[in-house]
Structure 1
Amino acid sequence: MTESPSATTAPRAARRTDAVDAAETLGLLTDETARAVFEALDEPRTAKEVAAVCDIGLSTAYRKLDALCSLGLCRERILVRTDGHHVTEHVRAVEEVRVAVGADGLEAEVTPRPSGDGSNSEYGGRIASD
């Protein structure tokens, strides 16, 4: 299967601070399985690929991916195939997560990952020929 990027992603802000989700982010990343899934997303992977790489069940992979995406730590994108069988891939959306205790409690700061992945929207998309 040959893949070709359809476009590039618009640049995002260099840093974002989000104190609201700090406790939830910390809680998720202290989960060994969620952290393994997060680390596996250094390249685009389907849920099935994540399950295989992390040696976890497919339903567990989907749950961890959903949790990571809901916090903005990963993003989904569609791999559009010319045969009509499209696939959802996941990729890590941040390079770094820092959690600190501030005057108002926990604060999380994330450094977005430059996409360079050929996606053309927040959810992305690539075109592949079979």
Structure 2
Amino acid sequence: MSQSQMARATRQDDAEETVTTTESVQGVLDALDDEECRAILEATKQESLTAAEISEECDLPSSTAYRKIDLLDDADLLTEELRIRRSGKHVSEYACAIDDVTLSVGDSGVELSVSHTEPAVTDLANPFAD
């Protein structure tokens, strides 16, 4: 199990996170407001993809894909895992980390609730797929 999967498994008990700091709320809203970021979240919802695969799937230049991946990762909307290859050329792959986002405005200010996805099941019988 990768570090990212362990982090998600640890977070599983607290699958919903409430974001209240202005900077964090703005980071999530900025990422969700970006059409290319939304396309990446949709593309990585069913399967983890490398940056090159995201670039191809979403029809984005590589540099743009990496910038958007960083934006999504900073907002905790995307997770990064390591794809192990027999060749030794391991590569990062990314997966959508959220199921639901809810914005609330109340007496205590703006709150953003983010429901994180369940950790993906790893094929432990064949960790060197490829």
Is TM (by shorter chain) over 0.5? yes
Following the alignment from structure 1 to structure 2, what is the Cα–Cα distance between the partners of residues 95 and 81? Answer: 29
Give the letter for the 1:46 counterpart.
Answer: T
Q: CA deviation at 1:129?
A: 4.3
Q: Is the alpha carbon distance of 1:55 and 1:34 closer, same or farther for their aligned partners in structure 2, counting shifts above 3 Å? A: same
Q: What is the TM-score normalised by the length of structure 2?
A: 0.81
| Counterpart secondary structure, 2:65 | helix
- Quick check: which one's strand share is greater? 1
Q: CA deviation at 1:14?
A: 2.4
Query: Which shifted more, 35-44 or 8-17?
Result: 8-17
Give the letter for the 1:106 counterpart.
Answer: V
| Counterpart secondary structure, 1:75 | strand
User: Which residue of 2 is the match for residue 107 of structure 1?
Assistant: 111
Residue identity over aligned pairs, in percent, reads: 34
Q: Is the alpha carbon distance of 1:79 and 1:63 closer, same or farther for their aligned partners in structure 2, counting shifts above 3 Å? A: same
Cα RMSD, aligned residues only: 2.3
Following the alignment from structure 2 to structure 1, what is the Cα–Cα distance between the partners of residues 15 and 76? Answer: 15
Contact kept, 8 Å, 2:31 with 2:75, in 1: the verdict is: no
Q: What is the TM-score normalised by the length of structure 1?
A: 0.81
Give the letter for the 1:128 counterpart.
Answer: F
User: Which residue of 1 is the match for residue 127 of structure 2?
Assistant: 127
User: Which residue of 2 is the match for residue 123 of structure 1?
Assistant: none
Q: CA deviation at 1:114?
A: 0.3
Q: Can you give the 5+ residue segments of structure 1 that lack an aligned partner in the other structure?
A: 121-125
Off by >6 Å, runs of 4+ in structure 1: none
Q: Can you give the 5+ residue segments of structure 2 that lack an aligned partner in the other structure?
A: none
Contact kept, 8 Å, 1:26 with 1:99, in 2: the verdict is: no
Answer 1 or 2: higher relative contact order, Cα 8 Å, separation at least 6. Answer: 1
Following the alignment from structure 2 to structure 1, what is the Cα–Cα distance between the partners of residues 100 and 55? Answer: 23
